[in-house]
Structure 1
Amino acid sequence: MIVAVTGGKGGVGKSMLALNLAYELDGVVVDGDFTTPDLPRGGGPGLHDVLADRADPLEAVDRRGPVRLLPCGRTLAGARAAELSVFPRIVRRLEREFGHVVIDCPAGLARDVGRQLASAHAAVLVTTPTEPALADAMRTRQVALDLETPIAAVALNRTSGAVADGIAERIERTVSAPVLALEERSAVADAQRRGRPVAAVAPDCPAVEPLRTLARRLERCTTHDTDRSDAHDRSPAALD
């Protein structure tokens, strides 16, 4: 299964969620933010090199503590040399090898987001309980639907009690997908700074259970058509 973690607005916690989902699913996380990557750096070739046919995808996968990671490059030249049309083929190969692939999508609605959403069997929307973040998440949802990529769940990040309940109900009515609330916790921020999953750094943190619940839901989504071998033909024309 290939999952795209997306949301539109930057700074809502997409990278944190992608890293934790890859850990919980025992898969590989792909840093798909070609220009401003947030996941840890690798020690060898990265996604830029793979997209430019300078490295094999499996050789570029790095082990960062307990998580497998295909890191992205850090140079503008690398981003310019990347051939985005081969991205679906790369993530399908990773899926065959590791079973689960989690794509950390970039912020915004640039063409590369459409390419990544079109490569996925399902998407997880990430947002915070602010109007700008919610609006961006809804715009990203529409792009996913245009590309026939279903929304498996919504992660409502950095929230608390009563605020989460009201907003979660509103989102569920709009998106028709379950909402999982992730309260703001210092342990989550610490794990993110260290580039590690929350469960590996603070196993007793209350955020661990919602993350595991989301991972289990995604595993159940494998009943969807994961043989979407035509994914690379579903051009993100909606973004033109």
Structure 2
Amino acid sequence: MIVAVTGGKGGVGKSTTSLNLGYELDAVVVDGDLATADLPPGTGPDLHDVLAGRADPVAAVERFGPVRYLSCGRTLAGARAADLSALDRVVERLEREYGRVVIDCPAGLARDVGTQLETAHLAVLVTTPDEAALVDAVRTRRVAADLETPIASVVLNRADRDEHGDLASRVEERFGATTTIVEDRATVDEAQSRWLPVDDVDPDCPAVGAFDEIARTIERSEQRISSRIGVH
């Protein structure tokens, strides 16, 4: 199963969601932001090298803490050399090897976001409660619909359960996907700054339960898709 974590607007928490879902789903996390990578850098070949045909994708996977990554390079030259059209083959190879792949998509609605959404079997849409992020989430949903990539889950990040409960219900109705609130907690930011899942930093943090809930929603969608099209 290949999951694209997307949302349109930058800074809404796509990388945090990707990291924690990689942990919850025992997946390889691909840092798919070719220009401004947000996940831990590797010590060897990276996604730039893989997309340029200089490295094997499986050999480029590294473990940082409890999560496996295919990290992305951080140079403009590397980004320019990368052949984005090879992304689907790279991700499918990782899926065959590891079973599940989570792609951390870049911000915006540029061509590479469409490429990654089209590669994925389903998407997780991340937004915050502010209007600009919600508007971008709606636009991203339209792109996903055009590419026939279903939205399995919506993440309402940096929200408050009491203050934003009604908003979460409206988002769920609008997007037709289970919407989970991830509360704004310092522990989440601390874990991300260390590139660790929240569960590794504070197992009692409410975000741990939220990310587990999102993962279980994805697994249910995975079962439905697998039974329909034979994905394993």
- What's 1:145 paired with? 145
Q: Cα distance, 1:223 vs. partner? A: 2.5
| TM-score, L = length of structure 2 | 0.96
Match of 1:233 in 2: none
Taking the aligned partners of 2:109 and 2:170, their CA distance within structure 1 comes to: 23
Q: Distance in 1 between matches of 2:157 and 2:186?
A: 13
Deviation at 1:162, TM superposition (A): 2.7
Q: What's the offset of the Cα at 1:101?
A: 0.3
Greater Cα offset, 213-222 or 102-111: 213-222
Distance 2:14 2:196 in 1: 14
Structure 1: give runs of 5+ residues left out of the alignment.
230-240
Letter in 2 for 1:133: A
**1:183 — aligned with what?**
183
1:82-122 per-position Cα deviation (integer Å, ceiling 9, x unaligned): 10111011111111111110000000000000000000000
Report the counterpart of residue 50 of structure 1 in structure 2.
50
* Cα 1:117/1:228, change in 2 over 3 Å: farther
SS of 1:45's equivalent in the other structure is: coil
Residue identity matched to 2:68: R
Partner of 1:76: 76
- Number of residues paired by the alignment? 229
**Contact between 1:18 and 1:103, CA under 8 Å: does it hold in 2?**
yes
- Aligned-partner SS, 2:123: strand
Q: Which amino acid aligns with 1:4?
A: A
Give 2:154's aligned residue.
154
* Contact persistence 1:121–1:228 (CA under 8 A): no
Task: Measure, in 2, the Cα distance between the counterparts of 1:141 and 1:165.
Answer: 21
Partner of 1:174: 174
Q: Structure 1 residues 228 and 119, CA, compared in 2 at 3 Å: closer, same or farther?
A: farther
Could you say which residue in structure 2 is the equivalent of 1:232?
A: none
Q: Does 1:67 align with 2:67?
A: yes
Segment of structure 1 superposing worse, 152-161 or 214-223: 214-223
Identical-residue share of aligned pairs (%): 62
Counterpart position of 1:109: 109
Normalized against structure 1, the TM-score is what?
A: 0.93
Task: Give RMSD over aligned pairs.
Answer: 1.3
Q: CA deviation at 1:225?
A: 3.8
Is the CA contact 1:121–1:224 (under 8 Å) kept in the aligned structure 2? no
